[in-house]
């Protein structure tokens, strides 16, 4: 089988990977490795099995650790990006002072609630639509608050003190139900009110509706027993329905959306509340889900505020996305006034989902399931002449990917579907789920490449060239041969060849893909590095790094190629030298690029720019982010930058602690998922890697850069027997590791094999308004 590295080497014109500094030689089969005192020997082997001692194996340990990461409020949040947030992948709420009143607002928004008039585009015709909000209305004037968002329980608890008394409340969201419990002391009273909101695009804050747009009809209300409903019909067909019920101290609320049915949402929301479990039963189910969720992986770093931020991002994406649910819009399930009430496919979606891989949470990947479910729509998005073999998507769409794709030569963005499929490929590589490759990635990537191939033309230089396409959001006349598209075209053809081999498919297009890789024009480059496209230098500030995709995240041009290092370095430096248009993800992107170079201190310096309150667009108090409206991808991509500093897996090699800053002397990883479906655990103390454990979930070839120093490296399988290992010429260690087996590596004497939180060396205050 041709390796991915070999295929990509062909892509890059035959460049080879240079040898890295020599790693310590691992113990080969037959090398003695004595039993540790006190451990039993495996029967018949003469070897001592080993196990990791996981101090995070109890609910008490997890509750204590995550409590230190919680968000805290001692001041009343007045804006959405200051307050607590809850969600279950569809229903979402943010909590802050109701503008202009004394109430506490609990927004009620839902990822599936949208308009259905594609003729008006994604900003108005198929946009996310507001639902409404609850208010908890005190009798008196608020004088103090004391709130905590518990990550462990995914629950907001707290008190509101007023000049009349106090309110104590708790709230969570589970299985489509917002559940709240509130009690009053003194002269206070618990008063809940649901306020429907006009079903109009949140884009109204920045522009008038398009010509011919007709407003959605007004909502109506209905009471069935003790359940109150708000029913919102839609001009384009369909219905949104909200149902809620008060029972003693408890309130339960749900939202349903149907299309094309004008009544099904009302029926569904009513039944949901009628059949809902009691508050306590619902809470037990809710906390069981979250407690199991967190145990799937563990990361601990000594920077207290950044560590907390990372765990909040895991909580955030689990609140915003679940496999099979709606793909995340730019705001996730939390809708506020915004110019972007849709799904953006030219960077936002891709950055949103990277975090699910390393954190070992494929169950959150609604991007891959959205691609699988909407293949017919992706075909319909291209002009009729190309639907027999092509597919695509435009810049933005609804949750069903309904947006016409511009054709190459039209000056539009042609690579967005291919980039989204790179995410799906990463999901495959991290799980080795062949069904995902066979049923989603391969057929759609084949169509995405065919769309390019219709327009790819040979020129007098003997090379294949692309007509005018847009490098996302670079504000010039779209050039030919954009690096954005050339990188995606190279990656797509190389990946199809690898996928066909893995699937055993003798695809008749394989010669064409090989021809593209052999003859595609080189990336346009000038004295400052990678250009936007042919005859178009990178000459003005650009927030996207679309012209650098071949470096990150595609790794087609990478740091393992010494002849490319100067080009990579000057390209990244020049991108950041022009600063006017930079946004939060410009900093997180730079952090990941420098992490690929192994420069942990530089990576951290760029990552911290995102948290610097003096920058124009910093991370907000609740770890959300806003430009002209909510933009969820940037904080999530910041956690991916952290992942890239701690563990990387590209080019067929797993790299442990490749770019750890000098200030992080101690780091713990446990069950970090990598390409090849490996789970990596490792501990770093005193600035040195002490051990690395790798578990294989799929039996893929393992090549490892472990970073162990300080003596001969021992490699033991889980039964204590020596692993078969082979050092390779590029500084990696190849290890024979069967499926469902583990290997342990350490240098010198065997260290304590402990998974535990590290000691904080850089204290920081909690997120929220502490």
Please tell me the least confidently modeled range out of 27-31, 120-124, 366-370: 27-31
Hey, do 4-56+663-755 and 59-294 end up sharing a CATH topology, with the first three levels equal? no
Task: Please report which confidence band the pLDDT of residue 516 belongs to, taking 50, 70 and 90 as the band edges.
Answer: very high
Q: With the C-alpha atoms ordered 657, 608, 421, 455, is the resulting torsion angle positive or negative? A: negative
* Percentage with pLDDT > 90 across the chain: 91
- What confidence tens digit (pLDDT) does each residue in 531-576 have? 999 999 999 998 999 999 999 999 999 999 999 999 999 999 999 9
The pLDDT value recorded for residue 729 is: 77
- What confidence tens digit (pLDDT) does each residue in 222-247 have? 999 999 999 999 999 999 999 999 99
Domain ranges of the chain: 4-56+663-755, 59-294, 342-549
Residue by residue, what is the 3-state secondary structure of 319-369? HHCCCCCCCCCCCCCCCCCCCCCCEECCCHHHHHHCHHHHCCCHHHCHHHH
The answer as to CATH 1.50.10.10 being correct for domain 342-549 is yes
Q: Which fold has domain 4-56+663-755?
A: Immunoglobulin-like (2.60.40)
Contacts of 409 (CB under 8 A, 6+ apart): 455, 467, 468, 469
Name the phi and psi angles at 560, rounded to 5.
Answer: -75, -5
> What mean pLDDT do residues 435-454 have?
98
- What confidence tens digit (pLDDT) does each residue in 58-113 have? 999 999 999 999 999 999 999 999 999 999 999 999 999 999 999 999 999 999 99
Q: What is the mean pLDDT of the chain?
A: 93
Please tell me the least confidently modeled range out of 43-57, 372-386, 544-558: 43-57
- What confidence tens digit (pLDDT) does each residue in 624-644 have? 999 989 999 999 999 999 999
Render 395-457 in DSSP notation, one character per residue.
SEE-TT---PPPPTTTTS---HHHHHHHHHHHHHHHH--HHHIIIIIHHHHHHHHHHHHTT-E
pLDDT of 478 higher than 90: no
pLDDT of 410 higher than 90: no
The pLDDT value recorded for residue 230 is: 98
3-state DSSP call for residue 271?
Answer: helix
pLDDT of 44 higher than 70: no
Whole-number Å distance between alpha carbons of 38 and 43:
15
Highest mean pLDDT among 18-22, 186-190, 476-480: 186-190
Name the phi and psi angles at 193, rounded to 5.
Answer: -140, 130
> What mean pLDDT do residues 740-753 have?
97
> What mean pLDDT do residues 612-617 have?
91
The pLDDT value recorded for residue 728 is: 83
Name the phi and psi angles at 538, rounded to 5.
Answer: -80, 100
The pLDDT value recorded for residue 46 is: 52
Residue positions counted in the chain:
770
- What confidence tens digit (pLDDT) does each residue in 649-664 have? 999 999 999 999 999 9
What is the C-alpha R_g of the chain? Answer: 27
Q: Which CATH class is domain 59-294?
A: mainly beta
Q: Which of 387, 392, 394 is nearest to 125 (CA)?
A: 394
Residue by residue, what is the 3-state secondary structure of 500-552? HHHHCCCCCCHHHHHHHHHHECCCCEECCEECCECCECCCCCCCCCHHHCCCC
- What confidence tens digit (pLDDT) does each residue in 304-335 have? 999 999 999 999 999 999 999 999 999 999 99
Please tell me the least confidently modeled range out of 205-219, 387-401, 728-742: 728-742
């Amino acid at each position: 089988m041709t390796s991915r590295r070999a295929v990509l080497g062909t892509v890059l014109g035959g460049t080879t990977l240079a040898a890295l500094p020599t790693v310590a030689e691992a113990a080969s089969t037959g090398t003695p490795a004595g039993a540790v005192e006190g451990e039993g020997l495996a029967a018949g082997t003469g070897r001592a099995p080993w196990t990791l001692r996981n101090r995070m194996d109890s609910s008490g340990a997890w509750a204590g650790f995550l409590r230190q990461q919680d968000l805290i409020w001692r001041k009343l949040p007045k804006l959405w990006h200051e307050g607590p947030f809850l969600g279950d992948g569809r229903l979402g709420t943010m909590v802050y002072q109701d503008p202009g009143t004394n109430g506490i607002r609990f927004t009620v928004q839902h990822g599936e609630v949208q308009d259905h008039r594609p003729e008006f585009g994604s900003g108005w015709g198929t946009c996310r639509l507001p639902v409404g909000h609850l208010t908890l209305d005190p009798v008196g004037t608020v004088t103090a608050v004391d709130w905590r968002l518990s990550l462990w329980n995914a629950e907001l608890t707290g008190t509101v003190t007023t000049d009349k008394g106090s309110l104590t409340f708790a709230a969570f969201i589970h299985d489509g139900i917002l559940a709240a419990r509130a009690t009053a002391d003194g002269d206070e009273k618990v008063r809940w009110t649901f306020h429907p909101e006009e079903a109009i695009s949140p884009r109204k804050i920045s522009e008038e509706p398009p010509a011919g747009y007709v407003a959605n009809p007004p909502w109506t209300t209905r009471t069935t027993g003790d359940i109150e409903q708000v029913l919102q019909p839609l001009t384009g067909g369909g219905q949104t329905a909200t149902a809620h019920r008060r029972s003693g101290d408890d309130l339960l609320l749900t939202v349903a959306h149907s299309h094309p049915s004008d009544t099904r949402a009302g029926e569904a929301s009513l039944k949901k509340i009628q059949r809902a479990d009691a508050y306590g039963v619902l809470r037990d189910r809710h906390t069981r889900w979250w407690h199991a969720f967190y145990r799937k992986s563990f990361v601990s770093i000594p920077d207290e505020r950044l560590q907390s931020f990372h765990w909040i991002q895991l909580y955030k994406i689990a609140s915003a996305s679940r496999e099979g649910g709606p793909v995340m819009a730019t705001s996730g399930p939390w809708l506020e006034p915004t110019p972007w009430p849709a799904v953006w496919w030219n960077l936002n979606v891709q950055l949103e989902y990277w975090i699910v891989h390393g954190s070992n949470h494929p169950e959150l990947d609604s991007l891959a399931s959205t691609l699988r479910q909407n293949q017919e729509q992706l075909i319909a998005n291209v002009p009729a002449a190309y639907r027999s073999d092509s597919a695509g998507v435009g810049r933005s769409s609804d949750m069903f990917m309904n947006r016409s794709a511009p054709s190459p030569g039209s000056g539009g963005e042609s690579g967005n579907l291919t980039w989204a499929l790179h995410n799906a490929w990463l999901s495959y590589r991290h799980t080795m789920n062949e069904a995902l490759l066979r049923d989603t990635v391969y057929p759609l990537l084949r169509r995405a490449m065919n769309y390019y191939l219709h327009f790819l033309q040979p020129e007098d230089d003997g090379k294949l060239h692309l007509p005018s396409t847009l490098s996302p959001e670079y504000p010039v006349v779209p050039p030919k041969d954009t690096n954005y598209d050339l990188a995606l075209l190279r990656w797509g053809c190389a990946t199809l060849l690898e996928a066909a081999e893995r699937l055993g498919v003798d695809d008749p297009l394989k010669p064409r893909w090989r021809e593209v890789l052999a003859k595609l024009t080189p990336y346009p480059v000038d004295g400052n590095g990678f250009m936007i496209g042919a005859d178009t230098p990178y000459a003005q500030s650009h927030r996207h790094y679309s012209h650098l995709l071949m470096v990150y995240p595609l790794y087609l041009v990478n740091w393992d190629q010494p002849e490319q290092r100067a080009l990579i370095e000057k390209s990244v430096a020049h991108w950041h030298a022009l600063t006017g248009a930079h946004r939060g993800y410009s900093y997180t992107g730079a952090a990941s690029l420098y992490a690929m170079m192994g420069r942990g201190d530089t990576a951290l310096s760029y990552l911290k720019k995102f948290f610097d309150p003096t920058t124009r667009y910093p991370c907000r108090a609740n770890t959300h982010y806003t430009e002209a409206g909510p933009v969820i991808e940037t904080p999530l991509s910041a956690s991916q930058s952290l992942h890239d500093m701690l563990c990387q897996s590209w080019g067929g090699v797993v790299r442990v602690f490749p770019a750890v800053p000098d200030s992080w002397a101690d780091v713990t990883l446990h069950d970090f998922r990598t390409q090849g479906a490996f789970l990596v655990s490792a501990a770093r103390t005193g600035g040195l890697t002490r051990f690395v454990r790798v578990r294989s979930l799929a039996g893929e070839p393992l090549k490892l850069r472990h970073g162990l120093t300080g003596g001969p490296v021992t490699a033991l399988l889980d039964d204590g027997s020596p692993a078969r290992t082979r050092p390779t010429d590029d500084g990696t260690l190849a290890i024979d590791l069967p499926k469902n087996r583990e290997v342990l590596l350490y240098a010198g004497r065997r260290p304590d094999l402990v998974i535990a939180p590290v000691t904080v060396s850089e204290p920081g205050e909690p997120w929220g308004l502490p």
